[in-house]
Every structure is written in C-alpha cells, then in structure tokens.
Amino acid sequence: MSNKILSVGSDFPHFDKKAVVSIEKGKEFKNISSVEHRAEGKWMVMFWWPKDFTFVCPTEIAEFNKHNQDFADRDAQLVGASTDSEFVHLAWRNNHDDLRGLKFPMLADTSKSLAEELGILEANEKIAYRVTYIIDPQGIIRWVCVNDLAVGRNVPEVLRVLDALQTDELCPCNWKKGEETIK
C-alpha cells in the first residue's frame, strides 16, 4: 500500500462503487462510476470522511448538502465517500436529521480499494482522512485538500477553488468569483 496521496495532475482512479442515493424504499442504492462521471462531462467534487455515526462528519456532510445547488450551478457533481458500507450509510441517513434529505450520493468504499489507491487511508485504523478532491471533466485531479481527522473543512473554500479552476486563468490570492483575474 502506498502512503503517497494521489495529487494534482494525476488521473483520478477508475471506480465503480455502490452509493446511497435515497432513503425511499427500493430506491436506496445505485452504482456510481468514474466512467459515468467522464461521460457526463461534468466536474466532480469528491469529499471523504473517516467514519459514519461520528461527530465532525455530519457537520461537513450537512454543509456540503446546503451548497449542493451551488456545485450543480457550476456543473459539478458532488459525491461524499467513506470506507463504511452502503448499509451503514443508509442507517446513518435514516437516523440523523441532518442527513435524511441529502441531495448527493454517499459512496461506499467498503473494500477500501479506492481510498487505498488514492493513498488516503490513515495508518492505524485504515479509515479515510478528510480529503476533498476536485476532478475536472477529463478525470484529472485539479485540487486536493487533506484535513487532520479532528478538523472539519471549509465548504465555501472548495467552491472558491472550483470557481478559480473553472476560469482557466491565473487567480491571485484570496480571489473570489467576479473579481479580476491576472491577464
């Protein structure tokens, strides 16, 4: 197993994983794949959390959900992921007020194969670090942010970076959408 985190400029690994997409009986699960992502020609923002049924994770997942339309408006598919199974994801969604109405899939990397290929497994427990990837429509990693297990991320910063990447121009420090880029 590699401890090296897959980073900017790398191809995002191919994957085909079960995900929880609904809490409606009979419509809970769907496979999500990298092939589907590339075929849609959209950006993808995949964010990983360590474990379901914990304390920091639902605050982040709920915050990403509040901004789901902001990502959609930028032609980006939001995907949440952890190494928990799809059944644990579903149980958590059913039992947590902030997670019942999620508008994006919760990917289950039960085999830990995708997390391992990405190099984002914590050494002792083999759970994923809090990692956020922005992947372009061609499947290339354009941004990676890794947080310690104890620290939640900043969703508006993910949107800011996505905006900057989508300009395809040089963006200065603290640049925000609508501001001048460097010509």
Task: List active site positions.
Answer: 57
Compute the residue count for the chain: 183
Report CA torsion sign: 129, 3, 81, 53. Answer: negative
Q: Would you give the DSSP letter of residue 59? A: H
C-alpha distances out from residue 82 to 55, 70, 73, 126, 157, Å: 14, 22, 25, 11, 21
Q: How far apart are CA 27 and CA 7, in angstroms?
A: 34
Q: Which residue has the tokens 């990397």?
A: 109
